[in-house]
Amino acid sequence: MNEGLVFKVALIGVLGIGSQWLAWRFNLPAIVLMSVAGLLAGPVFGVLSPTLDFGAFLQPVIALAVAVILFEGGLSLNFRELRGIGRGVRQLVFIGVPVGWILNCLAAHYIVELSWPVAILFGGVLVVTGPTVIIPLLRQARLAQRPAAILKWEGIINDPIGALLAVLVFEYATFTGADLTFAGNAAWLTASAAMAGAIGYGGGRAMAWSFRRGWVPEFLKAPVILALVLACYEAANMIHEEAGLLSVTAMGITLANSRVHSIEEVRRFKENIAIILVSAVFVVLTATLSRDMLGGVDWRVAAFVAAILFVARPLTVWLSTIGTEMTWREKLLVGWIAPRGIVAVAICGFFGTALVNAGYPDGGQLIVLAFAIVFATVVAHGFSIGWLARRLGLATASRPGVLIVGASPWSVELARTLRELDVPVKLADRNWLHLRSARFGEIPIYYGEILSEATEHRLDLNPYGYLIAVSSNDDYNALVCTDFAPEFGRTNVFQLGIERGDEDDPHGVSFTLRGRTLFRSGRSYEDLMKLHEEGWNFQKTRLTDEYTFDDYTDGRPEGSEMLVVVRASGELVFSTQRERALAEPGDTVIGLSPPVTRTTKAKPDRPPRARPVAAGLNGKSMDSGRLP
């Protein structure tokens, strides 16, 4: 019995996290893979039957998981960020949410024939577009800055708002004060919501105050928050059933808007916990679907999905963005793209059962309708966003670009060389004078502190797939790589080597905090500046079937360094201290070489073959000139 239960718990973890990994590896929607995994393990093969396997523990565990998920959603809502998101996002939030809520509610009531309380609750849930879904789609499509920012911030802000609407409607629908009048019921419900919000606000303020006072050590901050979230959830539930969901959402919003220095570390920990819980909850909820429930998907469900996709969402966007700076192309794109995510399914899975227990039998349809909406929106929007963005002229460069942090003569020349190969490049520095040569060379720049909160609103990262930190301060480079690793991926952030030469040097920054070290020799900033003064320059060479990679490596001048390989597909492969980049015919190699003189000799490994002059992409020579 116990061994079988442990096996099923382990299976849920493997299916959930495995689906997340496969989605990342093959650039697919994670929700679709997790849903397929849950359906196969549940109604198809019958390996999982959560209701029978976990019995009375199923609903409390799901409730606690939803509480943590809602807290993490509230933790992403910082009111200071609303000031920089533009009028379009503000109107999508303050006008679009009520308009979308009404349209979704009408569709649920008149098409699927849900009762008004259930339809109103479901309509509130559907205003959530889900940042966990929309952000990967934006990276995939590489949208232009404004529509990408609108979709991103709409998803982040609406995530806790939709959950809050669902909680409030649920509180009203399930409130049973039979001895009270309508006014008395409303007053008690308002008081309960206020007390639950006060508990969450007080908990968030207490955490922020104790953190600032240093009463909680760094290694205990995340566990303390998790324990306090569960405690506040249960404390609010003692006042009124499921008021804890409102409490934890308020706690997350409060903590997000408190000036706590370690909030980013806490937020990342909560994101990791939320991913684990979301994966498990999604597989469990999908596995609870029975074949009878799946058989209940009829033309009404299809008509409801079509109404949400083709009527409710476009009409919401067009009405709420009247008078904004958005063009009709941007409105068309934003009006189509609105994938619902895991939060919507988790909330519906929890509230659906609770509504049935409270006397609303049609609450059982919420989980099926939520899955239908999620499947339809993720598949339709996920496979069409790139095509539609390109057709509307709202997509940036198709190949991933490079964000270079730290302006110097060396990095400016690198940016210029990459641009000659049509690789999108932006050079960032907080010193205006350092950017002078880049500005004169018409290289795109970002002037400001890359680690500032304002950067998130002012700098569009969607066109860039790689980050190189090449400032003169090695510790700063490591901090930049650590901060942007979650955005770009740890394997796509790079920095220069240290003066002592070895990234494992015990006297330097820990290897786990650094980006990958550029160049096989691990050259430092001081080395590169010295080589620049000696006249070293970048060379770009295109390989062919006649002039192979072996010919290139054998024919390089003594001491030259290979930096990056630009694949024919647009992918960039950097040569690092631990891994040597390899190239094939059709690729272009960028290397750093000494100035050509009469004494410069090729490596004596073997007699080099005659080297043809490699033509550039625009018919120019692939050997760049000397650095200025």
- Write the CATH number for 274: 1.20.1530.20
Q: Is 298 left (phi over 0), alpha (psi -120 to 50) or beta?
A: beta
pLDDT band at 131 (very low <50, low <70, confident <90, very high): low
Same domain for 471 and 567 = yes
623 pLDDT more than 60: no
SS3 state of residue 466: strand
- Residue 503's pLDDT band, with cuts at 50, 70 and 90, is low
- In this predicted structure, what is the pLDDT of residue 606? 43
Distance (Å, whole) CA 296 – CA 368: 9
Question: For residues 37 and 465, what is the distance between their CA atoms, to the nearest angstrom?
Answer: 30
Confidence (pLDDT) at 466:
92
Taking the CA of residue 584 as centre, how many other CA atoms within 13 Å lie in the half-sphere pointing to its CB? 6
Angle between helices 263-287 and 30-39 (to 10 degrees): 40
Q: Is the pLDDT of residue 412 over 50?
A: yes
Average pLDDT over residues 616-620: 37
Which among 362, 391, 420 is the end of a domain?
391
Q: Domain range holding 341?
A: 2-391
Q: What CA–CA distance (Å, rounded) separates 153 from 144?
A: 14
Are residues 246 and 362 both part of a single domain?
yes
Better-predicted residue by pLDDT, 446 or 569:
446
Q: Are 446 and 380 in contact (CB under 8 A)?
A: no
Task: Please give the single-letter amino acid code of residue 268.
Answer: R
Highest mean pLDDT out of 16-30, 440-454, 560-574: 560-574
Tell me whether residue 453 is in a domain.
Answer: yes
Residue 620 pLDDT? 39
Entry field: residues in the chain: 628
Model confidence at 505, pLDDT cuts 50, 70, 90, reads low
538-579: per-residue pLDDT in tens?
888 899 988 888 888 888 888 788 899 998 888 899 988 888
Instruction: Return the higher-pLDDT residue of 339 and 59.
Output: 339
Please tell me the distance from the alpha carbon of residue 564 to that of residue 427, in angstroms, as a whole number. Answer: 17
User: Looking at the structure, do residues 386 and 438 belong to the same domain, yes or no?
Assistant: no
Give Cβ neighbours of residue 546 (< 8 Å, ≥ 6 apart): 612
User: Are 416 and 333 members of one domain?
Assistant: no
Q: What is the pLDDT of residue 160?
A: 67
Q: Which of 130-134, 143-147, 617-621 is predicted least confidently?
A: 617-621
How many angstroms separate the most distant Cα atoms in the chain?
101
Based on the structure, what is the number of domains in the chain? Answer: 2
Q: Please give the pLDDT value at position 398.
A: 63
- Out of 341, 368, 391, a domain closes at 391
Residue 260: inside a domain, yes or no? yes
Identify the H or E element spanning 365: none
DSSP SS3 for 588: strand
**Quick one: which of 401, 362, 384 has its CA closest to 570?**
401
What pLDDT, on a 0 to 100 scale, did the predictor assign at position 624?
39
DSSP assignment letter at 578: S
Claim to verify: residue 233 and residue 93 sit in the same structural domain: yes
Nearest to 368 by CA among 311, 305, 306, 309: 305
Structure-token pair, residue 577: 């201290």
- The 10s digit of each residue's pLDDT in 191-247 is 877 888 899 999 999 988 998 888 888 888 888 888 999 999 899 888 876 678 788
One domain for residues 383 and 446: no
**Which among 247, 233, 135 is positioned nearest to 197, based on CA atoms?**
247
Q: What is the pLDDT at residue 199?
A: 93
Cα distance between residue 145 and residue 460, in whole Å: 6
Domain-embedded: residue 122? yes
Most confident of 126-135, 349-358, 371-380, 415-424: 415-424
- pLDDT band for position 87 (50/70/90)? confident
Better-predicted residue by pLDDT, 538 or 83: 538
Residue entry with tokens 């991933």: 400
Of 31-40, 466-475, 589-598, the range with the highest mean pLDDT is: 466-475
Helix, strand or coil for residue 465?
Answer: strand
Q: pLDDT at position 368, please?
A: 86
Query: What confidence tens digit (pLDDT) does each residue in 252-264 have?
Result: 888 888 877 767 6
Give me the pLDDT at residue 535, please.
Answer: 87
- Helix, strand, or coil here: 186? helix
Which pLDDT value is given to residue 171? 73
Task: Give the number of other CB atoms < 10 A from CB of residue 333.
Answer: 26
Verify that 333 and 419 share a domain, yes or no: no
324 pLDDT exceeds 80? Answer: yes
451 sits in the region (left: phi over 0; alpha: psi -120 to 50; else beta) called alpha
Question: Can you tell me the distance from the alpha carbon of 91 to that of 100, in angstroms, rounded to the nearest whole number?
Answer: 12
Residue 57 scores a pLDDT above 70: yes
> Is residue 458 a part of any domain in this protein?
yes
Domain contains 616: no
Which pTM value belongs to this model?
Answer: 0.67
Mean pLDDT (the chain, rounded): 81
What is the rounded (10 degree) CA torsion for 105, 109, 115, 121? Answer: -20
| 237 and 136 assigned to the same domain | yes
* 136 against 276, higher pLDDT: 276
pLDDT at 349: 79
Instruction: Report the 10 Å Cβ neighbour count for 206.
Output: 15
**Section 29-43 average pLDDT:** 83
596: left (phi over 0), alpha (psi -120 to 50) or beta: beta
Same domain, 248 and 349: yes
Q: Among 7-21, 109-123, 456-470, where is mean pLDDT lowest? A: 456-470
Statement to judge: residues 85 and 122 lie in one domain:
yes
CB 447, CB 429: distance < 8 Å: yes
pLDDT, tens digit (0-9, with 9 covering 90-100), for 511-527 = 667 888 998 888 888 88
Q: Would you put residue 535 in left (φ > 0), alpha (ψ -120 to 50) or beta?
A: left
Question: Residue 414: inside a domain, yes or no?
Answer: yes
